[in-house]
Amino acid sequence: MKTSAVVSDTIGNYPSTSAEDKAAALERVRHAQTGDVDAFEVLYREHSPRIYALCLRLEGGDTSDATELLQDVFTKAWRRLDTFRGDCAFGSWLHRLTVNTMLENARSDQRRTARVLPMEDTSRLAGAARSSGVESRMDMEGAIASLPKGARLAFVLHDVEGYQHQEIAEQLSVSVGTVKAQLHRARRLLRERLES
Amino acid sequence: MTHEVIKHLLDDYVTGDLTEEARPPVEEHVIACALCAAEVESLRRILARAAELPKSIDPPADAWSNIRSAISRDEAAVRASSSVSRPSIWQRRYVLAAAAAVLVAVLSSAGTALYMSGHYSGARSNQAIANSSSAEGTPATLAAFTIEENNYLRTASMLQDLLDQQEASLAPATVAQLKASLRTIDEAILEARSALARDPANKLLLEMLSASYRQKVDLLRRTTELTRGT
Amino acid sequence: MGRRALSSYVASVSGRRLIVAAVGLLLCASPAAAQKKVERKIPLGMEGALRIANMVGSVVVHGWNKDTVMVRGTLGAGDTFFMGGGYTGAKMFVEATNDRDPKPTQLEVWVPSRVRLWIKTATANIDVSDVTGGLDLYVVSGTIDVRGNPRELNAEAIDGDIHVIGSPSWLRAKTATGTITFQGASSDVGLSTVSGPIKVEGGVFERTKIETVTGNITFAGKLDRGGTFDFDTHSGNIEIGIPQKMGASISAVTIAGTITNNFSVTAPIPGRFGRGAELRMEPSGGGARVSVRTFKGPITFRRTK
């Protein structure tokens, strides 16, 4: 797996819990919605580390692909900013946009290159870190990156990001049963790769 | 339930997704079955490690500049695709940005009031509103509000100026209705302001005044946006 | 850089725009004066985005379950009709020969029901039915009529009326002198006028904020137990009907007006310095929270069935 520069180990600030936090967060978005790119940059600085972590894991640890996905997400967020109504936290909105963008990109990649990435395909692995002496967190990131795509999506969204089965099913346009099956598969593969 | 059945329920057992009825037999089996117990422990370790992964990772330093370039290129493309002869009906964001740039400039220079001579009756009453404020020492809340009020007045004046330039694109009846609405709001503001001068500690009055100013600025902003390209 | 070079990344980003793009947008112009009727169809995804602009005349929109946009219309003399776009986003607009004296164009459009729809007119009336996606509707002095259950509805006018029948989950409607009427239910409502009246009745409401400067407000909906309801006016009449069996925590204040309570036996008390009035009611079982504030507008609470 290509190494990623893990600078901040802080857990993300989702969700805002206090009313003042929520009001201030909404104000920052409203400011950006007036067309102020500098205000949008403030939002980028606030949310990009969380989104980048998600991009990295969704893209199997490939930093170049993750960076491109991050850039796609924020460019799209800028274009669609006036559709954000404040019904949910801005971070949650960005989070969903990230997953949608990743899926859209994957679909258009398939059309563009006429190459299908089957769920079973393990040839595009970013590399599974199984050698001893590798720090346990790096093993875990590498192991996640090595998962087949469907299993990786389900695991990252549910077990890392905390989405519910139903939410994942809706975003990926699959059934809850499929999500659970992919989760089960991901966990089994991770156990094999990390503990055997 | 047999081992063959229960081994498929271990995921849900570990994540707490089993129903009330299903949980006890699975738990009983896990205690008795070494294989399932090992699997449960292993699952728990995996999930614990997943939960410990950093939720934030700093992106590459040049990502923002690429995003900013993409935004600039997109907006240049939009401007290029709208010619002079075509109605600028797609430029909502730019109208908003223009008016908002004014708003931001005004709100960031708190305390400097700029009253422009009126094109609309509303602007003249802006002056009257400003003059009606008490000259004597006032409680902190009113003083703070006076600064906010000056900002609203300045913003409203600047938006009215923008609207002046577009007045010709509005039907006369609509211009008349708009002026009437602005007069209505200004009269409400004057009444509330007079009441506040007599009762400066009245927070409800301050909130009502703020709401009226907000409605005035909102009406001017909406009209400016709607009339661009009509 | 990864799979794509930066320049192709930017180009591909531009190429995927939903709205106005320099690349990939097909525009079909009708010949200037010879053709008065319009009939066109283009594919549009069920959740695509569509922009419609027609300054004078009418825009009537129906939601349907096809991934196609179909438009039929009659152009004003000298007007030109443009339509184009891709599967994820399309637009149509009418361009007048003489901007100072545009002739009315009547458009009737069928759209995928889950579309994200943006319509702008000046005096043309907008009428939308059976769209469940998002609606952004803007008129200067036309009327906006919406029937159905859009997920989101944002309607703005200067002196036009806005009428909604249905259950938008999220609703914002603003006009200055026009009337707003809403018959239905919603979980998040914001209605605002300057002098126009606002009338709301119907099903269950949750978060509701209604404000005018001088316009009258009449509300007769059902209040969700956990809902919050804010009514503000300077001098309009506010009349609120509360269902008989519904508990609601009420806080009403008027600086210089009057409060009449025909809902319960609690009497209003004089306000600050003996002017105006205040009324507070707290039901034992809790309930919706209602806040009413006026400068001098009279407030009336009445009981409904």
Hey, is the C-beta of B74 within 8 angstroms of any chain A C-beta?
yes
Total domain count, chain C: 1
Chain A partners (3+ C-beta pairs within 8 A): B, C
- Which ranges of C201-288 would DSSP assign to H, the alpha helix? none
Mean pLDDT of B46-73: 89
What residues of A are in contact with residue C4 (Cβ under 8 Å)?
68
DSSP A57-113: HHTTT-HHHHHHHHHHHHHHHHHTGGG--SSS-HHHHHHHHHHHHHHHHHHHHHHHH
Hey, is the C-beta of A85 within 8 angstroms of any chain C C-beta?
yes
For residue C246, what pLDDT is reported? 75
Q: Is residue C205 domain-resident? A: no
What residues of B are in contact with residue C234 (Cβ under 8 Å)?
188, 191-192, 208, 212
* φ and ψ at residue B221, rounded to 5 degrees: -60, -45
> What own/partner pairs with CB < 8 Å and gap ≥ 24 does B23-29 have?
B25/B1, B26/B1, B29/B1, B29/B3
What residues of C are in contact with residue A65 (Cβ under 8 Å)?
2-3
**Facing residue for B81 by CB, picked from C22, C255, C256:** C22
* Inter-chain touch B57–A183, beta carbons under 8 Å: no
Between the alpha carbon of residue C172 and those of residues C49, C164, C176, C302, the distances in Å are 20, 11, 14, 26
* Inter-chain touch A53–B57, beta carbons under 8 Å: yes
* Inter-chain touch B55–A10, beta carbons under 8 Å: yes
Hey, is the C-beta of A111 within 8 angstroms of any chain C C-beta?
no
Q: Which ipTM value was assigned to this complex?
A: 0.83
Hey, is the C-beta of A170 within 8 angstroms of any chain C C-beta?
no
Beta bridge partners of C223: C205
Chain C partners (3+ C-beta pairs within 8 A): A, B
Task: Take residue B211 and report the two structure tokens written for it.
Answer: 């709401």
Mean pLDDT of B46-60: 90
Whether B58 shows a pLDDT value over 70: the answer reads: yes
What residues of A are in contact with residue B63 (Cβ under 8 Å)?
48, 52, 67, 70-71
Mean pLDDT of B126-143: 43
For residue B132, what pLDDT is reported? 39
Query: Of residues B212 and C225, which shows the higher confidence score?
Result: B212
Burial call C68-78: b when 16+ CB within 10 Å, e when fewer: ebbbebebbee
DSSP B169: G
Residue type, position C290, single letter: V
Q: Is residue C289 domain-resident? A: no
The tally of CA atoms less than 13 A away on the side-chain side of residue C60 is 8
| CATH class of the A134-196 domain in this structure | mainly alpha
Hey, is the C-beta of C2 within 8 angstroms of any chain A C-beta?
yes
Nearest to C160 by CA among C58, C86, C48: C58
Residue type, position C110, single letter: W
Q: Is residue C174 domain-resident? A: yes
For chain A, which residues make up each domain, given as ranges? 17-116, 134-196
Pairing of strands C198-211, C217-233: parallel
For residue B228, what pLDDT is reported? 67
* Inter-chain touch B181–C122, beta carbons under 8 Å: no
For residue B175, what pLDDT is reported? 85
* Inter-chain touch A68–C13, beta carbons under 8 Å: no
Residues of chain A falling short of pLDDT 50: 1-17, 114-134
Assign residue C274 a region: left if phi > 0, alpha if psi is -120 to 50, beta otherwise? left
Q: Which residue of B has its CA nearest to A182?
A: B11
For residue A118, what pLDDT is reported? 34
Instruction: Mention every residue, 6+ apart, whose C-beta is less than 8 A from residue B129.
Output: B149, B153, B186, B189, B190, B193
User: Could you tell me what percent of chain C has a pLDDT over 70?
Assistant: 88
Helix axes A37-58, A90-113, angle to 10 degrees: 60
For residue B31, what pLDDT is reported? 92
Whether B197 shows a pLDDT value over 50: the answer reads: yes
Hey, is the C-beta of B27 within 8 angstroms of any chain A C-beta?
no
Geometric angle at alpha carbon A70, from A64 and A76, rounded to 5°? 135
Q: Which residue of B has its CA nearest to C193?
A: B215
State the fold for domain A17-116.
Rna Polymerase Sigma Factor; Chain: A (1.10.1740)
Q: Give the distance from residue C144's alpha carbon to the nearest chain A alpha carbon, in angstroms.
A: 20
DSSP C36-81: -EEEEEEE--TT-EEEEE-SSEEEEEEEESSSEEEEEEEPPTT-EE
Q: What is the pLDDT of residues B6-34, one digit of tens each?
A: 888 899 899 988 888 888 989 999 999 99
Query: Of residues C245 and B141, which shows the higher confidence score?
Result: C245
The tally of CA atoms less than 13 A away on the side-chain side of residue B189 is 29
Cβ-Cβ pairs closer than 8 A, A with B, add up to: 122
* φ and ψ at residue C53, rounded to 5 degrees: -135, 125
For residue A109, what pLDDT is reported? 67
Residues of chain C falling short of pLDDT 70: 1-35, 284-286
Q: Give the distance from residue B78's alpha carbon to the nearest chain C alpha carbon, in angstroms.
A: 6
For residue A30, what pLDDT is reported? 85
Instruction: Mention every residue, 6+ apart, whose C-beta is less than 8 A from residue A77.
Output: A94, A97
Cα four-point dihedral sign A4, A9, A12, A13: negative
Residue C301, classed as helix, strand or coil, is strand
Confidence of residue B163 (pLDDT cuts 50, 70, 90): confident
Residues 97-126 on B with a CB inside 8 Å of C are none
Q: Which domain holds residue C88?
A: 14-178
